[in-house]
């Protein structure tokens, strides 16, 4: 309502609409959505600091006094803020922000303290802090009362004293001798204006004011001492509270860790149970697989042994065939060498035959030449007969040589035919040997492939067995880890028991400390005397 009135006064917005909203709110009627949006839009312009400034007369001063009494923030600064607001002055922006921050922290802490009532240890701590805070509140209220009294006395002291010059007695003419005292008659003689009495009363007032001033100064010094003691006490309380909060925090963390560990242990126990069941199933499966694998391995080993035997037999047969082929090749080589020798001999004979042919041609030429020479010279009959005989011998030798050549040529043709036949046979045998060799190699390669296949199968089975062994080892490791966690849990339970005993001792110490604090507060309350302010004496 205040903000709506402020908007109407400032002229910010539609006054008719704002008046309608004000009337509807006064009648407790619900607003329209458009009016609600309009009002929210207008109210969003106001700052929170204005709200604090508005509430200064009613609730803000109480909040500041609560902050001072509870010990939130700097007490000197809060006293200054309280005094400025009480005097009706406006705060600085920094003081406004400081006050807002402290009020919010107080609200948050009160809400947090209300949420933390469930825990027993926190309840005890809150009781202790509440007692301490109550004591602080009492001390702060006393200080505020004393400050108010001091302010009142100061204001009274600052008032101008009544003018005494008007009532001063007129100086007597002349001077009295030394040691003169007025007679009883003079004293008993009534004064016309009662000047002596007025002077006396004023002197009494001045002495009373001096006494009050001294008393105020002594009270102020005591007040400062009390404030210092209170600040020291607040510091000690804060330190003790922080220490207790740290211990409580540590205790909570330990409890949380213990609960977490207990949950982990439970989950690990469940995991262990599941792992044991899985291990038993795996062991059964492994046993079955091992039995099947053993039978397969035995079968494969027997097959491999048979293949090895076959391989050895085939290798022996191939070796024997190879040796036989080598022997036959050696024989064929020997035959070829013999044939080469025969061909060489035939070639030598051919060369001799060629020489004989050349010799015959040369002899024929010589005979022709001799005939010509004889015809030319008309030789004698004897010489002609001799020549004729030599010619016959030559011709007979020629025919012999020709016959021999024919024989040699026939032998050469026969040898060539044999050679070609042998070459064809050797070629056919070599081809056959090559084919046999290829077949044997194919058989050997097939045997090797089968062997490799069997080896691969054996290796895969071995890998399976190793994998199963690894899983068994992992299960054993898991079981060992679970045993380790069980031992750790026992250790943690021992530590929990130890911490519980330590917490019990801490609580006993905190109770003892609370008792000491109560004693100290009682002694401080007794030591601070109550200030009795003397009443003003009425002037006679």
Cβ atoms of residues 236 and 135 within 8 Å: no
Residue found under tokens 């905190």:
510
pLDDT at 8 over 60: yes
Quick one: pLDDT at residue 468?
A: 75
Would you state the pLDDT for residue 406? Answer: 80
Mind listing the pLDDT tens digit for each residue in 266-301?
888 888 888 888 888 888 888 888 888 888 878 877
Residue 44 counted as domain residue: no
**Bigger pLDDT: 392 vs 201:** 201
Q: Is pLDDT above 60 for 366?
A: yes
CB neighbourhood size of 212 (10 A): 17
Give the confidence band of 174 by pLDDT, cuts at 50, 70, 90.
very low
Whether 368 has a pLDDT exceeding 80, the answer reads no
For the segment 103-143, what is each residue's pLDDT rounded down to a tens digit?
888 777 765 555 554 455 555 555 655 666 666 666 666 66
CA gap 505, 251 in Å, rounded: 13
Higher pLDDT, 510 or 182: 510
- Please give the structure tokens belonging to residue 35: 């009016």
Residue 251, pLDDT above cutoff 50: yes
Residue 521's pLDDT band (boundaries 50, 70, 90)? low
Predicted confidence (pLDDT) at residue 197 exceeds the cutoff of 60: yes
Report the chain's mean pLDDT, rounded to a whole number: 72
**pLDDT given at position 307:** 79
Q: What is the dihedral of CA 246, 249, 251, 252, to 10 degrees?
A: 180
- Report if residue 221 sits inside a domain: no
Least confident of 38-42, 348-352, 376-380: 376-380
**Whether pLDDT at 430 is above 80:** no
Tokens read off for 206:
């001045």
Please tell me the total count of domains within the chain. 1
Is the residue at 414 inside a domain?
yes
Question: Does 280 reside within a domain?
Answer: no
Q: How far is CA 21 from the centre of its chain?
A: 58
- The reported pLDDT for the residue numbered 123 is 54
The confidence score (pLDDT) of residue 260 equals: 83
Considering the domain boundaries, does residue 313 fall inside one?
yes
pLDDT at 439 exceeding the cut of 60: yes
Three-state secondary-structure class, residue 177: coil
**Which of 42-56, 193-207, 260-274, 355-369 is predicted least confidently?**
42-56
Cα–Cα distance between 10 and 61 in angstroms, integer?
A: 27
The pLDDT of residue 190 is above 60: no
Write down the pLDDT at residue 522. 64
% residues pLDDT > 70 (the chain): 73
Going by pLDDT thresholds of 50, 70 and 90, the confidence category of residue 154 is: low
Residue of 136, 163, 19, 6 lying closest to 72 (CA atoms): 136
Least confident of 175-179, 259-263, 286-290: 175-179
Buried b (16+ CB within 10 A) or exposed e, 129-149: beebbebbbebbebbeebbee
Winning range, highest mean pLDDT, from 49-53, 119-123, 348-352: 348-352
Given this model, what pLDDT does residue 169 score? Answer: 41
User: 507 pLDDT exceeds 80?
Assistant: no
Tens of pLDDT, residues 379-400: 455 555 666 677 777 778 778 8
pLDDT bracket for residue 234 (50, 70, 90) = confident
Residue that wins the pLDDT comparison between 524 and 432: 432
Predicted local distance difference test score (pLDDT) of residue 517: 66
The answer to whether residue 335 is domain-embedded is yes
Q: With respect to residue 322, please indicate whether it lies within any of the assigned structural domains.
A: yes
- Fill in the DSSP letter of residue 528: S
Does residue 37 fall inside a structural domain? Answer: no
- Residue with the bigger pLDDT between 31 and 522: it is 31
Task: Give CA–CA dist 7/46, Å, rounded.
Answer: 10
Based on DSSP, count helices (H) and strands (E) in the chain, helices before strands. Answer: 11, 0
Provide the domain limits for residue 475.
299-481
Return d(Cα 511, Cα 513) in angstroms, integer: 5
């Amino acid at each position: 309502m205040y903000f709506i009135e402020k908007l109407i006064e400032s002229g910010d917005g539609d006054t008719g609409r704002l008046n309608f909203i004000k009337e509807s709110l006064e009648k407790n009627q619900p607003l329209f959505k458009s009016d609600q949006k309009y009002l929210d839009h207008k109210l969003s312009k106001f700052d929170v600091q204005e709200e604090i400034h508005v509430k200064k007369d009613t609730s803000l001063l109480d909040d500041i006094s609560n902050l001072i009494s509870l010990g939130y923030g700097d007490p000197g600064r809060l006293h200054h803020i309280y005094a400025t607001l009480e005097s009706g002055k406006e705060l600085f922006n920094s003081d406004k922000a400081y006050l807002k921050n402290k009020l919010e922290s107080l609200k948050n802490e009160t809400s947090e303290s209300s949420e933390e009532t469930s825990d027993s240890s926190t309840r005890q701590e809150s009781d202790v802090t509440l007692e301490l805070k109550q004591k602080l509140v009492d001390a702060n209220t006393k200080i505020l009362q004393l400050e108010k009294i001091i302010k009142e006395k100061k204001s009274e002291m600052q008032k101008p004293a009544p003018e005494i010059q008007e009532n001063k007695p007129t100086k007597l003419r002349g001077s009295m001798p030394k040691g003169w005292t007025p007679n009883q008659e003079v004293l008993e003689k009534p004064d016309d204006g009662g000047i002596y009495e007025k002077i006396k009363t004023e002197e009494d007032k001045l002495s009373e004011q001096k006494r009050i001033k001294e008393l105020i100064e002594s009270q102020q010094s005591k007040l400062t001492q009390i404030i210092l003691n209170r600040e020291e006490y607040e510091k000690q309380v804060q330190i003790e509270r922080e220490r207790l909060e740290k211990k409580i925090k540590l205790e909570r963390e330990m409890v949380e860790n213990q609960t977490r560990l207990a949950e982990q242990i439970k989950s690990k126990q469940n995991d262990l149970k599941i792992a044991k069941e899985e291990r038993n199933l795996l062991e059964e499966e492994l046993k079955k697989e091992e039995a099947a694998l053993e039978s397969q391995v035995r079968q494969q080993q027997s097959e491999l042994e048979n293949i090895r035997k076959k391989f050895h037999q085939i290798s022996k047969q191939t070796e024997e065939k190879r040796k036989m082929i080598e022997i036959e090749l050696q024989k064929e080589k020997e035959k070829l060498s013999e044939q080469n020798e025969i061909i060489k001999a035939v070639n030598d004979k051919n060369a001799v035959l060629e020489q004989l042919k050349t010799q015959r041609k040369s002899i024929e030429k010589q005979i022709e030449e001799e005939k010509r020479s004889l015809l030319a010279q008309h030789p004698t009959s004897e010489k002609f007969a001799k020549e004729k005989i030599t010619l016959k011998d030559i011709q007979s030798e020629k025919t012999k040589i020709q016959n021999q050549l024919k024989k040699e040529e026939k032998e050469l043709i026969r040898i060539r035919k044999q050679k070609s036949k042998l070459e064809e046979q050797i070629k056919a045998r070599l081809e056959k040997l090559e084919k046999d060799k290829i077949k044997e190699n194919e058989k050997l390669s097939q045997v090797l492939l089968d062997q490799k296949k069997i080896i691969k199968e054996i290796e895969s089975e071995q890998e399976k067995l190793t994998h199963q062994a690894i899983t068994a080892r992992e299960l054993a490791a898991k079981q060992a880890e679970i045993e380790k966690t069980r031992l750790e849990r026992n250790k943690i339970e021992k530590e929990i028991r130890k911490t519980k005993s330590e917490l019990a001792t801490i609580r006993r110490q905190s109770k003892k400390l609370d008792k000491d604090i109560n004693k100290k507060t009682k002694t401080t309350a007794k030591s601070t005397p109550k200030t009795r302010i003397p009443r003003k004496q009425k002037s006679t």
